[in-house]
Structure 1
């Protein structure tokens, strides 16, 4: 620590003296010497130059000194900054094989240089990235662990610099300032591989240094994403680099686009097969064969849906169209959405017994009660798959671990129906999001300072109530005879968490998993994080009412009417909770599409009956608004309507 402070003070005092006397030679000499070689970098920034620091737990870099040197560097005269860049070029050109841990430290120190955010330094930066990207896996392992100790602002800045480098190379504002693309094809792969080291480092930390979304590069949304996808999927036919190899840089918008395009291709293939089959049977083709047509009765919604989906397994990848038996009308999207809403509302009712609701976490979890068959769990999986496949947002509240399990594995093992699926590595943190009260009790057991065996009297056995009958389950072989002690309580907690989130509802979740993947089977799922699957199913929680206002159309009103002006003023100034309630009231979900509200369709229709409350039809994202003359009355009526709404197809 003393050397840390001394180094920082020395650097600052050197600059202060130069500013006082106007002589910058000592400062330039310090920076030129410091960056002239990797050995000099280590001599300057290593905590103890004589020590090896071969552990992944400590890089040995005096990071605070590094931050100070770079902070001062940014404010130095241009001549001094150029001297640093020349020294870095000399360092990179020197032969340093075989690599040592000192080299790895030097790479990290150079990587943190803020000068590399300027396009004028990109040629030098590219060579640094190329050398880092070509290091061995073992060297990368050390770098990943050492990057964990970089502070938040530098970590975040480094991600931005690397993404800026990639974007500038792809879409250069001044192409003449960069070397021709055909002479530096290695620039983008090198930068992406170094970015992958930062991403791996970020994933090692709990909580991570930055959100996974910080790694998104929005500029990649404008690429030919399907060409990237096909290059990744067919390396023999399309050799070369693909961003799909590093999906953490692709935004959820880009991944959704790939998934939708892949889905569309599968829909076309299925429709083509149906057409060929019709022709081979000498039957007349009809437009209906291009769709997954479901006909259900409202009074028998679940059973009819089960039967229809069971009979039309081969059509699940076609475009969905729903008809309610005995009701005229074409499905232009509204009937499909209503089918989803009504079916989910019925299946998730407590008395239906499939899912248990935790009031603290406000999420549903799978009932562990055994069933004769698990078709209904399969149906819920199919529903989620169809929603993703047909770009429909569902108002489903599962904990994060559900989506982690859905990607375990991301692609169903081929031609192996007995393969284990839906089993994920679970932790106490996963249980905290699912059953927080129970998780709190287990945490207290871990933190207990007394005699666990004497005071708790637990064994490696747990009890579960099934249909009013208490049944015992051993967490390990002979668990009923193994007492929980201070020394084995961590094992007990881990086994208990695994039992609750994996073993106790294994059959239920397997049926759910296979239902989802029967629709969404795509290699594009490999690119998704569990959080991103949740976004695809449930939409984004981010809300911007001004974006909704821009896409709203009016029937009987105009945007300049006083009632409309009052309405938007009220909604815009609502609390976030009320805005979510408003969205739930009018659309059936408090989430918005991944691309934001600008992707929504929203309509406000006028009626003249001022005695009625505002009404909504969630299937059509439509608000029926009486022409209240008073802003105060409008506010009262609107608040009553949205507070009492359940958000399921209100009429």
Structure 2
């Protein structure tokens, strides 16, 4: 056998020779007599093509068909006749069967109340629902036996518990549109069902909310107002339940009020885009909120904005004028205190003598030039507008403890709104003042009115 040293030297020699061969250019032998492959004949393709018709059933792809809305032929008149016969005879079986079938699913709701079962009705102008028939069915429901009313609620539960996959269809929106009008939701015993319905409506996509908003707009005024009142009652009862044991603990249903308020915002939007409004905007106020800690709600809203954390301040239409006025007044006072404190700190940090007058917005006015002096003073002291106001009348001795400020405000408003002054005119029909029609080249006096009313709400309400 060769020695280990000779084996290593032989291996190194082969490596060197291999490296030289790799560094040299690679020469390929000339290829001769290369035959081109014949093209694939169309007949060959056709022979190897497998038709889907000959595949076994288990191999074929399954296509999910669209749900078919059942055809229901009962009219509103026929239903009314059934209810009348049941009232006389006491046999409610036929009416019960109608309610059991109708509220069994979203498809059945569409089958019963949709004007044409196979028509798309995919516009905001027409929901495709026979509103008159819906109202007749709901009005009769409240006068049916208890088992019939319970069967409707059970059907709604089954519909809401159904597992949804993918976006909602317009038929689903129509079902929500019908279900939310159910008058049974005035009773706290139905609030758990009502809350889940509101939650599903509130969680719909923005485009779906757009459709519902326009469909709500088409409701008769009476039905629209009833819908608003039920939502307001739901919010009020959840905040201050008469019998707390009737409802789940607040910790387990904290989503109830946000869901109801979001649905109420759809009605507010529908009311806002209607001309004239369907109901007065004051009907959307929830006066119960006057008794909650609305300043805490306001501070939470300031800290988190319109984030996922719910506050009533996100929906100002529900807050009464009393609450809004109090929030503006207290916020203004807090800003005044903050501005005064900051001025004091700045003086102390610069080792300057502290003048207590710096804590206030001091204005000096002459009675004969009240408007012009007030305008000049407020224009020069814009940085101090959020401080507490103190007024001094030139040439008059007196310390403003609130009385001079009130007098200044009343005199200023009286002069500005006087007809001879020309800024505003009084409209007898509405009993309100409106901007004068004469052309104005200087709007500084109008800015003065805005500054006074906005920056001094406490004075403005005197």
1:109 maps to 178
2:31 maps to none
Change (3 A) 1:347 1:212: closer
1:224 maps to 293
Deviation at 1:302, TM superposition (A): 2.8
Q: Contact conserved, 1:356 with 1:367, CA < 8 A, in 2? A: no
Counterparts of 1:578-589 in structure 2, within 5 Å, are none
Determine whether 1:370 maps to 2:441.
Answer: yes
Q: Secondary structure at the match of 1:299?
A: coil
Counterparts of 1:489-638 in structure 2, within 5 Å, are none
- Aligned with residue 74 of structure 1, among 142, 156, 163: 142
CA deviation vs aligned residue, 1:362-411 (integer Å, no higher than 9, x gap): 6333743435xx544433332232442x3424xxxxxxxxxxxxxxxxxx
Cα separation, 2, equivalents of 1:36 and 1:131? 18
1:187 maps to 256
Determine whether 1:251 maps to 2:320.
Answer: yes
Farther-moved stretch of structure 1 (241-250 vs 325-334)? 325-334
2:59 maps to none
Q: Secondary structure at the match of 1:162?
A: helix
- Aligned with residue 33 of structure 1, among 77, 87, 101: 101
1:381 maps to 450
Change (3 A) 1:64 1:298: same
Q: Secondary structure at the match of 1:234?
A: helix
Change (3 A) 1:196 1:359: closer
Larger relative CO (CA 8 A, sep 6+): 1 or 2?
1
Determine whether 1:19 maps to 2:90.
Answer: no
- Aligned with residue 212 of structure 2, among 123, 143, 159: 143
2:46 maps to none
Deviation at 1:188, TM superposition (A): 1.3
Change (3 A) 1:88 1:337: same
Cα separation, 1, equivalents of 2:392 and 2:341? 23
Counterparts of 1:146-545 in structure 2, within 5 Å, are 146-235=215-304, 240-285=309-354, 287-348=356-417, 355=423, 357=425, 363-365=434-436, 367-371=438-442, 375-388=444-457, 390-393=458-461
Deviation at 1:286, TM superposition (A): 5.1
Deviation at 1:344, TM superposition (A): 3.4
Larger Rg: 2
2:5 maps to none
Q: Contact conserved, 1:231 with 1:239, CA < 8 A, in 2? A: no
Cα separation, 1, equivalents of 2:319 and 2:413? 31
Cα separation, 2, equivalents of 1:256 and 1:358? 25
When normalised by structure 1's length, the TM-score is 0.56
Cα separation, 2, equivalents of 1:210 and 1:384? 28
Q: Secondary structure at the match of 2:275?
A: coil
Cα separation, 2, equivalents of 1:12 and 1:111? 22
Unaligned 5+ segments in structure 2 are 1-71
1:51 maps to 119
Change (3 A) 1:168 1:391: farther
Cα separation, 2, equivalents of 1:87 and 1:46? 18
Deviation at 1:76, TM superposition (A): 1.3
Cα separation, 1, equivalents of 2:387 and 2:158? 60
Deviation at 1:33, TM superposition (A): 1.0
Deviation at 1:295, TM superposition (A): 1.9
Q: Contact conserved, 2:332 with 2:455, CA < 8 A, in 1? A: no
CA deviation vs aligned residue, 1:91-134 (integer Å, no higher than 9, x gap): 11123434211111110110000000110000000111111111
Unaligned 5+ segments in structure 1 are 394-592, 594-651
Deviation at 1:56, TM superposition (A): 0.8
Cα separation, 2, equivalents of 1:81 and 1:189? 27
Q: Secondary structure at the match of 2:125?
A: coil
Q: Contact conserved, 2:297 with 2:313, CA < 8 A, in 1? A: yes
CA deviation vs aligned residue, 1:221-246 (integer Å, no higher than 9, x gap): 22222222222222289961111111
Change (3 A) 1:203 1:135: same
Q: Secondary structure at the match of 1:146?
A: helix
When normalised by structure 2's length, the TM-score is 0.78
Change (3 A) 1:192 1:236: closer
Q: Secondary structure at the match of 2:368?
A: helix
Q: Contact conserved, 1:38 with 1:102, CA < 8 A, in 2? A: yes
1:414 maps to none
Deviation at 1:265, TM superposition (A): 1.4
Change (3 A) 1:215 1:276: same
Q: Contact conserved, 1:215 with 1:249, CA < 8 A, in 2? A: yes
Q: Secondary structure at the match of 1:185?
A: coil
Deviation at 1:315, TM superposition (A): 1.5
Change (3 A) 1:229 1:356: closer
Change (3 A) 1:170 1:350: closer
Q: Contact conserved, 1:202 with 1:208, CA < 8 A, in 2? A: yes
Change (3 A) 1:316 1:150: same
